[in-house]
Structure 1
Amino acid sequence: MARQLHAKPQVRLDRALFKAHTGESLLIIGYALCLYLLPLALFVWVANATSSLWVVLLCAPLWVMAGYGMFLQAILGHEGFHFNLSRNPMHSCYLGIFTSSMLPGFCVTGYFVDHWQHHRFSNSANDPDYRHFSRYRTLLSRIALSRLLATSNYLQATLRLAFGPLVSPSPLPLSAAQVQHLARCNIACQLGWLCVYALALWQVDGLLLGFGLSLAVAFLVSAFNAYQEHAFSADDDQPPARSRTSRLCTFMHAGANFHLEHHFYPAVPCWRLPKVHRQLLDAGWYADRQHLLEKNFVASFKYATRRHPYRGDTVND
């Protein structure tokens, strides 16, 4: 089995950081919905007031923020399948499915079958993310193809889990019947949200433009995200993951930008990861590991370029 060259920090965290609270999770879901829907609604109101292209461009911060809010729904789906939204694992998964299905085409059930392996064998040949994302070397292929094909794979995996033979994907801590039930719920939620979107687009003038722009931003953000988290310069040694520490990134990602902390402590909900990061800083763990941090929001997008390969840097026990 693979192990990370960077050992888990020997820092004792407050056990309360690991405890899921449904009420707190609902507040975070509400926050994500506001980040998505409020800028989108404001953009639609402005767009209906004028059809000028310049106004649409000047309102770019609104549809960019809405796109990040849409992407945040996928992050909450990820949190749900880490059982971080509720103490009841199935309830946590249901909440994750409900929120992440707002992102058309993204099926978190199929995604998380791979994601468990990603955590178990991170950046090794057995890591599905490493096998998939490392094959794309150019900026264009990374932002145009990598996430599109990955999302298609997650959809196909969800369909197989929902309607194929009962299989409990190892090492998911759920039974085969539970996984099948979640996959079917995921497909039903996807169809339900598509119906909601279709009705809203038919009823609300100007929504099609705002929704289309926001969805494009969400797609680009998700495409960049894998490389922002796991692509490093060729001269960086043994990189397991990167944390992006800007306040804007924390605001847009609800704390999920502290990705290295997430790999070390996946049972800590993402909105508490900034506290974990501060504890690691205070303990001096990052003193000689500054290449694992990116402090600038805009600069983090450079990691999708060919100068930063998605590398496998683990060794075997």
Structure 2
Amino acid sequence: MPAVARLRPNDFFSPEEWAGLSARSSWKGLALVIHCWGVIALAVALGVWIPWLIPLSVMVIGTRQLGLAILMHEAAHAGLHPNLKVNDWVGHWLCAVPIGASLSAYRPYHLSHHKYAQQVEDPDLPLSAPFPVTRASLRRKIIRDLTGQTFFKQRIAPFFVRVPPDEDLPEGARVTARSAAPFLLVNGAMLAGAILAGVWWAYFALWLLPLATWFPMVTRLRNIAEHACVENSEIDPLRQARTTHAAWWERAFIAPYWVNFHAEHHIFMHLPCWSLKRAHRLLAEKGVTEAMEVAPGYGAVLAEASGR
């Protein structure tokens, strides 16, 4: 099938509005990376200091691991820094590698997703095509995520056996296996740091456990919210993805760094992530969001996705 249709920014924004929205920054992307690691560090410290708060720390850290994936995604669009070498180094070593991903492998895969969004050539189509499902099916998927089964299937099993593709293992998960050596190197350094600090167990309880449980779960919720059950998404450029309004607690535990404004990202895929909320507000003022897929919250999306 041909590539999806693209819309022109000047059909929606004045030159001044678009210049403000699309401007790259030499510090905002880097500040987000620092913020992400700062939140992780504080959550680790909290779990070490008050062990009975480890479940809360696991949720916070798992969401910020998703935050690292989101910032890797930003780097794939060259949005973290105007200097491409800085953009790619930060996006790869500080965002992708710690969570077992590879920016160089992810970028062509992800740009293909944008080129063929919701069409048969879209490599992310297996993430949204099965929906809606039954509540029991969605519950089983979430249980697999929170018990580490999804992590094992995506990150461990491919090294030993050939895992057949299904909705839980799209091509996007397979490319992470290419960064095994850097992942082990960086995570080995993190474990060594925990040992030197006298809290060896913190690496397992406050980094590896979130990576194996909460991170896969919120990644699934993100994927469902972005593209599942969006009518006419394969033909309407305004409906290639869904934007989901997120309360403060949803931004803290499910959708960091404006990832919930996914419709705007697909319409104008080179906008920096920090501009997406403002773009949504401007589009709403112009009445454009009435033609877009916009959900009031993640609960509403999950209710629709499990309504079969």
TM-score range, shorter chain: 0.7 to 0.9
Using the TM superposition, give the Cα deviation of residue 152 of structure 1 relative to its aligned residue in structure 2, in angstroms. 4.2
Partner Cα distance (2:112, 2:201) in 1: 42
Cα distance change on mapping 1:120 and 1:191 into 2, 3 Å: same
Using the TM superposition, give the Cα deviation of residue 231 of structure 1 relative to its aligned residue in structure 2, in angstroms. 0.3
Matched, 1:93 2:88: yes
Using the TM superposition, give the Cα deviation of residue 29 of structure 1 relative to its aligned residue in structure 2, in angstroms. 1.0
Aligned to 1:22: 26
Secondary structure, counterpart of 1:254 in structure 2? coil
Using the TM superposition, give the Cα deviation of residue 268 of structure 1 relative to its aligned residue in structure 2, in angstroms. 1.1
Equivalent residue for 1:197, pick from 190, 203, 212: 190
Partner Cα distance (2:128, 2:228) in 1: 9
Aligned to 2:275: 272
Aligned 1:2-41 pairs, distance under 5 A: 2-4=3-5, 10-12=11-13, 13-41=17-45
Contact 1:100/1:107 (<8 A) preserved: no
Partner Cα distance (1:129, 1:149) in 2: 7
Deviations 1:79-136 (A, max 9, x none): 0110001112232121111232354322232222211111111101111111565358
TM-score, normalized by length of structure 1?
0.73
Partner Cα distance (2:188, 2:304) in 1: 37
Aligned to 1:282: 285
Contact 1:76/1:100 (<8 A) preserved: yes
Aligned 1:1-317 pairs, distance under 5 A: 1-4=2-5, 10-12=11-13, 13-47=17-51, 55-56=52-53, 59-101=54-96, 103-131=98-126, 133-134=128-129, 138-139=137-138, 140-141=140-141, 144=150, 146-148=167-169, 150=171, 152-156=173-177, 159=178, 189-202=182-195, 203-207=198-202, 208-215=204-211, 216-232=213-229, 236-238=231-233, 239-248=239-248, 249-250=250-251, 252-289=255-292, 292-302=293-303, 305=306, 307=308
Deviations 1:125-171 (A, max 9, x none): 11111156535854235854645554541135xx4xxxxxxxxxxxx
Using the TM superposition, give the Cα deviation of residue 75 of structure 1 relative to its aligned residue in structure 2, in angstroms. 0.6
Contact 2:124/2:170 (<8 A) preserved: no
Amino acid aligned to 1:259: H
Contact 2:22/2:271 (<8 A) preserved: yes
Partner Cα distance (1:90, 1:255) in 2: 24
Secondary structure, counterpart of 1:253 in structure 2? coil
Secondary structure, counterpart of 1:124 in structure 2? coil
Partner Cα distance (1:228, 1:298) in 2: 10
Contact 2:68/2:95 (<8 A) preserved: yes
Range with bigger deviation, 120-129 or 28-37: 28-37
- The Cα RMSD (Å) is 2.8
Amino acid aligned to 2:246: S
Partner Cα distance (1:99, 1:262) in 2: 23
Partner Cα distance (2:291, 2:172) in 1: 36
Gaps of 5+ in 2: 154-166, 234-238
Contact 1:35/1:68 (<8 A) preserved: no
Could you tell me the percent identity over the aligned residues? 22
Using the TM superposition, give the Cα deviation of residue 68 of structure 1 relative to its aligned residue in structure 2, in angstroms. 0.6
TM-score, normalized by length of structure 2?
0.75
